[in-house]
Structure formats: structure tokens, C-alpha cells
Amino acid sequence: MRKQLMTFLLCCGALIVSAQQPADYVNPFIGTSNYGTTNPGAICPQGMMSVTPFNVMGSKSNKFDKDSQWWSTPYSADNNFFTGYAHVNLSGVGCPELGSLLLMPTAGELNVDYHEYGSGYKDEVAHPGYYSNLLTKYNIKTEATASMRTGLTRFTFPKGQGNILLNLGEGLTNETGATVRMVSDTEIEGSKLLGTFCYNPQAVFPIYFVMKVSKAPKQAGYWKKQREMKGVEADWDIYSGKYKLYTKYNREMSGDDIGVWFTYDTDENEVIEVKMGVSFVSIENARLNMNTEQPDFNFDKVRATAGQMWNDDLSRVQVEGGTQDDKTIFYTAMYHLLIHPNIIQDVNGEYPMMESLKVGHTTGNRYTVFSLWDTYRNVSTLMTLLYPEKQLDIIRTMIDMYKESGWLPKWELYGRETLTMEGDPSIPYIVDAYMRGLRDYDIETAYEGMRKGATTPGEFNLLHPDNNDYMSKGYVPLREQYDNSVSHALEYYIADWNLSLLANALGKKEDAKLFRERAMGYKHYYSKEYGTLRPILPDGTFYSPFDPKQGENFEPSPGFHEGNAWNYTFYVPHDIMGLAKLMGGPKKFVDRLQMVFDKGYYDMANEPDIAYPYLFSYFKGEAWRTQKLVRELLGKYYHNAPNGLPGNDDTGTMSTWAIFSMMGFYPACPGDLDYVLTSPTFNKVTIRLDKKFYPKGELVIESAHQTPDDIYIKEVTAGGKKLKGYTISQQELVNAGTLRFTLDSKK
């Protein structure tokens, strides 16, 4: 309730001042409940830095605690105990990581135990690039903003003793260990280990930081939680197992659970600012980033710049009509789209090279946080359409990662391959862009990397560990009860299908044939008995006893990853007609797919089935189901509220589903140039295409809604020409100029 109210106030405030720009519609609280795992922190588009309120530890008054459950976000709208600002965070992911360098202001006596120094808060405000609250325990107003690589916080203290704490021991990451050093009375520097994302124990990496306070403290020092001692030693050491304050020491402090404190005598409403530069290369680069992007302390300037960057990027799409909430949902989804992948290179172009973490250098943007199993499904297409320049650097980064490490990325995080999820998602991610015409990168090297993943024997294959079975049998048998074998294979099929498209485009006819054939291997899994895909045992027989529904609610399911057979059976987007044939024809297909929705098997929050609603449109007379379901799903899962995402945003994948769906078209099959159409949410959507890539320049989508019930497509014209069917190709779309929907309330 509180958040919704604040958003309302924010909108009103903005309305009074000026006409609303896209960033003004964004509600960064969307997705901060219901496991959306987004956060309201201050960040620039694709910025390395985010400064995020951290409220997931230290108090039983919180609903969720990072240490007592599986928890992957630094902020929850359901919590209420603030323990500082986390610097550099992940948005919309499903495993705990980053969310460290916790900066906290307090007032009164110095206390470095977060259980005790944490505070309730109120008056939360969040805009793109800005967050603020009031700490009720201390009556301190806190504000945060960010540049691309630096954070800036502003604390307004009451009169008395004010304290600033940097906690290097806690954070969302499960890695520990930091070292810090006082450089001067106002500056510290250090590094902290991060990683172990999704409990991959070797995927670790350091973050380097430099922090500067705007006012020299009265006193400063470190703290460290001391090891628990035993016996006689414990009797002598009053700090055994406790936090010890170091008051007279200013050289290196290292440890698992350390921090830095500054104390001040503050006047009423005295403002102290803290800026932090980070780097994934070195402390020197962290300082260079800080001094370059924030040579002084100027909160308002940094905030204004961040806001402008958001407006620049978000204004690629202008929407008219729809409700205020629709616009907020849409622009917040756009905002979420542009958080990851984010840049990793420092202002001097240096970045940690894939896996070695040696220092590389780039002249463009080097990206990190590649949740590709998610994003290849729709984010890639949207980035190619809306932000082709960014997409080029994203793809170049992926190819460079192959050059550096020998493998294309799967789930890359700050230079480390976490190997989270399955398949080889770089292939469809890149091929989709290539097929749509985005080609200014080294496609031959990319192809080499893709082919290596697709053809290297399993024992030497980082990305396809079960490639021996797959290559010899055409499928992956179930060798362990919960080895997700069918899910693996389905990813290989879509990747192979994309690879065949690319091979063909590059004139590699034999490869094209090979991979096209492999892509059809899904048919092995089709069980006539159940009408679903079904795991196959090593002896070639189907797995029994089989229950296609097993796998709901994250219960483990033989053969399927985080889902059941129904969530995966239709995930052969490259051969929907082939699947329909297996099933006994279009009607059977449509009935079964409709049943998935009717019986509640559909999972809006898990990627393999998110395109399901669009599949109806491939079948004559069934497109109305798409239009109806998409509207229903938008209404059911997407809100202008903290719970306004269906689940983990998956670095923008869920948000992208809404963006496309609200604009009226969706890329239901990666690599396939046809979008499936649906009825737009808005009366008018203006996409400012980058003319360098799309000479037509502007795409206007018009759809006059007479009533809110006008959700069924009667006719669509592209550039004045009526479309046959309910798909539109990439070329048609970007050259249409105007896409006009005629809608009706009847199907």
C-alpha cells in the first residue's frame, strides 16, 4: 500500500512540474515483491553501478531473510528493516549474488552490528536513477543516485553524532572476504570477493572499490567480527565471537566480516555525501572511474544525468492511450529491459577477460550478466529492434568471450561462466539478431564457437556435457532421476535449428543440413500415450511411471527443469507444425494447448512455456485465443505494484514479454523472422527505429480501441497493406511505417 501511494504521489508530482517524460512513468517498485527480484535502486541504463536499499537481513520484522531461505534480491517490498545501500546489484535473477559494499548512516552511539544498527524507514521515493527514504530510527534522510560506474549517496543527519558505516562482511553474495585500507581521512579503497552464483563454487571474482566521504570524520576506524575462541583464550579476549572496533589502526584490514566506520559531530540537517567508484579490474581503475564520472560531490547533477540517460533510452518507444498504469507497466518493463546485461569496462576501456580475469581492453561497451537461457527467447529480438547499437556490442562481447575462454557464454557473470541452466543459448541469441539483419561483428568466429559447442564430444564440452548421447542418439536419455535430460535436449534442438539457419546463411550447406536434422530429434520424446514429451531411458524405452503433471511448484520432475511435461511439450517453436502432426493434427494440438491454460498448467514465470499463448495464431481460426490469453495474462500477472511481475524478471525476459505483448507482436520462435501479432494495449505506439539499421526510421502502431473489450484483431495493415494471417515478418514490420490494427470486442 505504501509503495503504491508513493508512486501515486510521484506521478502527481511529476505531472505538476511538466509533461511526463517516459522515465516519469517508471515505477521501480514493480517486481519488488512476488519474487520479481527487481529492486528500486538507483542505476543508469546498463550501468555497472546500482545503489540499492538493502533490507533483507538483520530483523525478524522482515518477512524474508537472505540467510534463512533461498533469496536472490537485495530488496523486498515485503520487508521493513534497512541495513544500508548495496553497491552493484543484480536485478531479476533467481540466485543470490552481488549486493555488497553496504553503506549505512546511523546517528547516536556507534554500533556496527547490523542487527542493531538497521532501521525502519518511510517516505520511500524511487525514480530511474534515484531512490530515497527516511530512516525512522535515526531521523536520517537517505538518498542515492548513480552514474555508470559510481554511486553517490546523500545523508541528511539530525544534530548530534552521525556515523557512516561500510559493511564489507555482509551482502547478498554467498562469497566472503574483503580487504580495505584507509588512503586518507576521507578516502578508503579495497576489494571484496563475490561469486558462487547459483552455488557454482569456482565462479568467483573480485570487486574493487574506492569510497570518499564529503567531510573529514571526527574519528574513523575498522571493525571485524572476531573468531570465536575457546577455553582460556576466550576468557582473556573480551571480543571472542564479537565485533571488535579498531580505533587506532589505519593500514590494511582483511577478513570475512569487516567494515569501516566514520563518526561525525553533525549539525541539524547537516548533509554528508559519500561517493563510491567500483571496478572489476583494479583499485586504480575504481578510483579513475570515480574521479572521471564524479570529480566533485554534486548529487543533483549526477541524478539529473541519470534521469536524462533513462529518458533518452526509454523514449525509443512512445505510447499513447492505455491507462496510466498501462504506461507505467510498459515503461517499467522497458526500464527492466535496460538493466542487464550491463557494462563491465572501466572508463579507460579495461575489463576482466572471460575466465582468466586478465585485463582486456575494449573501445566499445563490454557487457556482463548474460542470463542467456532466459534472454535468447525474446530480449535478443527486442534489443535488435529497439537498441541495435547496444545489441551489437552485446554480441561482440559474446564473441570476445569465446575468443578469450574458448566457449561462448551460457550464464556469464562478471567474467565467469556460472553454467546456470542448460543448453547453448548464445546460438539462438546471436542467430536471431543475425537473421534479422544485425551483422556488424565477426560472424565466422561466432559460428566457429557455436559449432564447437554443438559438435565437441561431451567430455570436452563445457556447454553440451551430454553431447555424446545427443549426437549419437538424437536425444538425451535420462541417466539420473533429476538430470533434466528432456529440458537439455529441447535447448539443443532450438539451438541446432538456429545454427542450421546460420550455417545456411553462411553457405555451409552440410552443416545446415546436419543441424536441421538434429533439430527434429525432439520427436523421439513424443509419447503418443500421453500426448506429451516424455523422458527416455538409456535403453531407449520411455521413463515410467510417468506423470506429465509432475514438476509443478518447483518439485523435482524427471527429465524436466523447474517445470513439468506440459510446460515443455510445446517448446519446439521451430517445428510447431511438426509437433501438431505428431499430436494428430491442428485440432488436437490446439485442444491440448488450450487445456494447459484451462487446467492451470501454464507457468507464466518459467521461460519454456512463455510463448505458448502465441502458438495458437499459427493455426487457422485460433488466433483469437492468442489475443484473449495475452490480454488475460497481462491483466493477471502485470501490475503497477510491487507484485507486478509474474516471478523472477529473469533480467528483463518477463518484462520483455509484456513490452512485446502490449505493442501487439511477439517473436514466438527465436531465429524465426516472423512475429506473431496480438492486439496492442495502446492506441498508438511510436517506435523510433535507429535509421542506421532501419532506414524507414519510424514505426507507428495504431489500434483504435472503441471499448476496453476490443481485444480481437479483425484486420491488420502494414504500410497500408492488409496482412494475411496473424504474423508479420521482420522486414514487413520495420519497413511498414504504420501498422494498423482494427479491433473488435468479439472474436
Q: Which positions from 649 through 688 interact with its own copies, judged by CB under 8 A?
A: none
CA 460, 486, 476: angle at the middle one, nearest 5?
Answer: 45
Residue 59 near its own copies by CB under 8 A: no
Residue pair 670/573 in contact (Cβ under 8 Å)? The answer is yes
Closest approach of Cβ 455 to its own copies, in Å?
25
Q: Which positions from 347 through 406 interact with its own copies, judged by CB under 8 A?
A: 355, 357
CA 362 to chain centre: 23
Residue 69 near its own copies by CB under 8 A: yes
DSSP single-letter state for residue 493: H
In three state form, how does the secondary structure of 494-542 look?
HHHHHHHHHHHHCCCHHHHHHHHHHHHHHHHHEECCCCEECCECCCCCE
CB within 8 A of 323, min separation 6: which ones?
A: none
With CB under 8 A as the contact rule, the residue among 109, 116, 256, 591 that binds its own copies is: 256
Distance CA 642, CA 77 (A): 6
Residue 257 near its own copies by CB under 8 A: yes
Q: Which one, 556 or 725, has the nearer CB to its own copies?
A: 556
Closest approach of Cβ 231 to its own copies, in Å?
5
Mapped onto helix, strand or coil, the DSSP state of residue 9 is helix
CB within 8 A of 609, min separation 6: which ones?
A: 563, 566, 567, 568, 570, 571, 596, 602, 603
Distance CA 698, CA 491 (A): 35
Q: Which positions from 87 through 146 interact with its own copies, judged by CB under 8 A?
A: 96
For 153, the grid coordinates are 549517496
Distance CA 583, CA 510 (A): 30
Q: Which one, 21 or 200, has the nearer CB to its own copies?
A: 200
Number of residues that bind its own copies (CB under 8 A): 48
With CB under 8 A as the contact rule, the residue among 246, 530, 543, 546 that binds its own copies is: 246
Residue 594 near its own copies by CB under 8 A: no
Distance CA 379, CA 372 (A): 9
> How many other CB atoms sit within 10 Å of the CB of residue 517?
12
Closest approach of Cβ 253 to its own copies, in Å?
7
**x-marked contacts with its own copies along 161-200 as a string, rule CB under 8 A:** -------------x-xxxx-----------xxx--x--x-
For 265, the grid coordinates are 559531530
Q: Which one, 57 or 663, has the nearer CB to its own copies?
A: 57
Q: Which one, 95 or 654, has the nearer CB to its own copies?
A: 95
Q: With CA atoms as reference, report the closest residue to 671 among 450, 475, 357, 456.
A: 450
**x-marked contacts with its own copies along 205-244 as a string, rule CB under 8 A:** xx-----------------x-xx-xxxxx--xxxx----x
With CB under 8 A as the contact rule, the residue among 15, 109, 159, 202 that binds its own copies is: 202
Q: Which one, 314 or 353, has the nearer CB to its own copies?
A: 353
Residue 707 near its own copies by CB under 8 A: no
With CB under 8 A as the contact rule, the residue among 162, 255, 322, 647 that binds its own copies is: 255
Q: With CA atoms as reference, report the closest residue to 589 among 564, 608, 572.
A: 572
Closest approach of Cβ 328 to its own copies, in Å?
34
With CB under 8 A as the contact rule, the residue among 123, 252, 517, 529 that binds its own copies is: 252
Q: Which one, 66 or 377, has the nearer CB to its own copies?
A: 66
Q: Which one, 64 or 624, has the nearer CB to its own copies?
A: 64
CB within 8 A of 192, min separation 6: which ones?
A: 100, 101, 168, 171, 177, 178, 179, 206, 207, 209
Residue 248 near its own copies by CB under 8 A: yes
Residue 253 near its own copies by CB under 8 A: yes
Q: Which positions from 556 through 585 interact with its own copies, judged by CB under 8 A?
A: none
Mapped onto helix, strand or coil, the DSSP state of residue 146 is strand
Closest approach of Cβ 155 to its own copies, in Å?
28
Q: Which positions from 476 through 535 interact with its own copies, judged by CB under 8 A?
A: none
Closest approach of Cβ 93 to its own copies, in Å?
15
For 487, the grid coordinates are 529440458
Distance CA 231, CA 680 (A): 71
Binding site for its own copies (CB under 8 A): 67-70, 96, 174, 176-179, 191-193, 196, 199, 201-202, 204-206, 224, 226-227, 229-233, 236-239, 244, 246-258, 355, 357
